[in-house]
């Protein structure tokens, strides 16, 4: 059969067609009133999307660029920092903090698990300048307890920095209420456009810290971007096409929320939650083990392959048979899990289609799979969730 190229990966994710069109049509110069108006609107919309009163800055970079800015702008060489790590992206915080000369103390959980606030409470010392963590760990699908960590940090001088690159749009964050000092998002995630833009919402505490932080920064200088952003500009040449795409995507989210962008974000989160619940139910019905049992997030579902099967073969079969791309495990986890994304532009039909393809792939690999069993379980979850919606109305 025809094989359409489809992304079920936790970034890049499926693109929003109206955003693709806006991207293709954008021809503006970035030092013009036209672009300033667009950029100003996008920064304001991102504040609403993130759900904060804090200023938002944007970089033309992938998410790691914004992560780097949260290290280089907030620390000085020799600073002690805490890192919550339970996967490849937690390890990225460790690598970044070390690259900038920080003394890193890690609070670690095994892949597939999460760190408890209690563990942080036990480790936290007044000299810890920053706690770095993920909202959701994209390499394992785990959702961390950001609210719990924030509670532990309350009253301390330790800044809370959350990589929410796959968390935003899939997880509820009360950024200002909990006191998240820096929260980071990326364009190729729940906002449904290609990679190339990263954004951060930064608290007053964090802006103050930058006054004394000594680490070098130039392109990723948050204060410079904030100053330019206030004029509707970026410090360096921005990816104008992606900014246009992002504006269109945020318009779509607002539309989904009946004209309210914050409501649209909540619907987007519920959408990912429903798709994730459908996928988890399907995996269980097929006798597959979820890679994350205690705290699975809605950004993606990580699933362990059947005993004796390398997940690389499942990923390969998905692509070869159906042109659909799912994600393998990263690093040492390669071969041991596969990941199906739910963040952003996925609907019921996509979710059913991915589960149907998974069953077919496993059956073709000779696994004992009852065709339709996972689908049925997913459909039942959907039926229940839509009944709840009907009742709520």
The residues of the shown chain that bind its own copies, judged by CB under 8 A, are 1-4, 6, 21, 24, 256, 268, 270-271, 274-275, 321-324, 345-350, 352-354, 356-357, 359-360, 363-364, 370-373, 375-377, 379-380, 382-383, 386
What distance in Å separates the CA atoms of residue 250 and residue 265, rounded to the nearest whole number? 9
Residue 158 vs 301, nearer CB to its own copies: 301
283 neighbors 302 (Cβ within 8 angstroms) = no
Minimum CB separation of residue 284 from its own copies in Å reads: 14
Q: Is the dihedral of CA 191, 193, 195, 201 positive or negative?
A: negative
Measuring CA to CA, which residue among 358, 355, 357 is closest to residue 379?
Answer: 355
Minimum CB separation of residue 359 from its own copies in Å reads: 6
Q: What is the DSSP letter of 333?
A: G
Residue 300, H or E segment: strand 300-303
How many alpha carbons fall within 13 Å on the CB side of residue 376?
6
87 neighbors 139 (Cβ within 8 angstroms) = yes
Residue 242 vs 377, nearer CB to its own copies: 377
Residue 21 vs 230, nearer CB to its own copies: 21
Minimum CB separation of residue 367 from its own copies in Å reads: 12
Minimum CB separation of residue 240 from its own copies in Å reads: 18
Minimum CB separation of residue 310 from its own copies in Å reads: 21
Minimum CB separation of residue 109 from its own copies in Å reads: 31
Distances (CA, A) of 195 to 20, 82, 173, 243: 12, 28, 23, 11
Region of 174 please: left (phi>0), alpha (psi -120 to 50) or beta. beta
Residue 105 vs 263, nearer CB to its own copies: 263
Minimum CB separation of residue 52 from its own copies in Å reads: 24
Residue 224 vs 376, nearer CB to its own copies: 376
All residues at 6 or more sequence positions from 21 whose CB lies less than 8 Å from its CB, including other chains:
248
Residue 311, H or E segment: helix 311-322
Measuring CA to CA, which residue among 64, 65, 85, 52 is closest to residue 206?
Answer: 52
Phi, psi of 79 (to 5 degrees): -60, 140
Minimum CB separation of residue 364 from its own copies in Å reads: 7
Residue 3 vs 53, nearer CB to its own copies: 3
Minimum CB separation of residue 339 from its own copies in Å reads: 18
What distance in Å separates the CA atoms of residue 336 and residue 326, rounded to the nearest whole number? 14
Residue 11 vs 112, nearer CB to its own copies: 11
How many alpha carbons fall within 13 Å on the CB side of residue 69?
33
What distance in Å separates the CA atoms of residue 103 and residue 81, rounded to the nearest whole number? 6
Please list the residues that pair with 201 across neighbouring strands: 56, 183
Residue 83 vs 268, nearer CB to its own copies: 268
Residue 110 vs 390, nearer CB to its own copies: 390
């Amino acid at each position: 059969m025809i094989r359409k190229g489809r992304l079920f990966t936790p970034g890049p994710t499926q693109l929003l067609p109206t955003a693709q069109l806006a991207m293709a049509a954008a021809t503006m110069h970035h030092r013009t009133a036209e672009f300033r108006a667009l950029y100003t609107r996008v920064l304001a919309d991102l504040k609403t999307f993130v759900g904060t009163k804090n200023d938002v800055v944007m970089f033309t970079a992938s998410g790691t660029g914004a992560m780097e800015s949260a290290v280089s702008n907030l620390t000085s060489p020799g600073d002690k920092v805490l890192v919550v790590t339970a996967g490849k992206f937690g390890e990225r915080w460790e690598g970044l903090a070390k690259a900038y000369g920080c003394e890193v103390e890690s609070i670690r959980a095994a892949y597939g698990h999460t760190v408890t606030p209690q563990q942080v409470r036990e480790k936290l010392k007044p000299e810890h300048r920053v706690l770095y963590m993920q909202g959701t760990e994209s390499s394992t699908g785990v959702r961390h307890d950001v609210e719990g960590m924030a509670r532990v940090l309350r009253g301390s001088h330790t800044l809370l920095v959350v990589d929410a690159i796959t968390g935003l749009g899939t997880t509820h964050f009360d950024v200002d209420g909990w006191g998240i000092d820096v929260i980071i998002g990326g364009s190729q995630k729940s906002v449904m456009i290609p990679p190339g833009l990263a954004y951060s919402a930064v608290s007053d505490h964090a802006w103050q810290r930058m006054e004394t932080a000594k680490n070098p920064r130039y392109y990723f200088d948050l204060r410079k971007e904030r100053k330019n952003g206030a004029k509707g500009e970026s410090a360096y040449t921005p990816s104008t096409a992606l900014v246009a795409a992002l504006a269109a995507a945020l318009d779509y989210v607002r539309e989904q929320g009946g004209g309210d962008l914050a409501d649209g974000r909540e619907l987007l989160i519920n959408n990912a939650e429903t798709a994730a619940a459908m996928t988890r139910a399907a995996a269980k019905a097929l006798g597959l083990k979820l890679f994350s049992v205690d705290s699975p997030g809605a950004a993606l579902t990580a699933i362990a392959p059947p005993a004796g099967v390398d997940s690389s073969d499942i990923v390969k079969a998905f692509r070869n048979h159906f042109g659909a791309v799912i994600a393998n495990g990263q690093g040492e986890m390669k071969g041991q899990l596969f990941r199906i994304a739910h963040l952003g532009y996925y609907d019921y039909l996509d979710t059913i289609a991915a589960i149907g393809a998974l069953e077919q792939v496993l059956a073709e690999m000779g696994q004992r799979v009852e065709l339709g069993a996972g689908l049925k379980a997913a459909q039942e979850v959907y039926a229940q969730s839509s009944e709840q919606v009907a009742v709520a109305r």
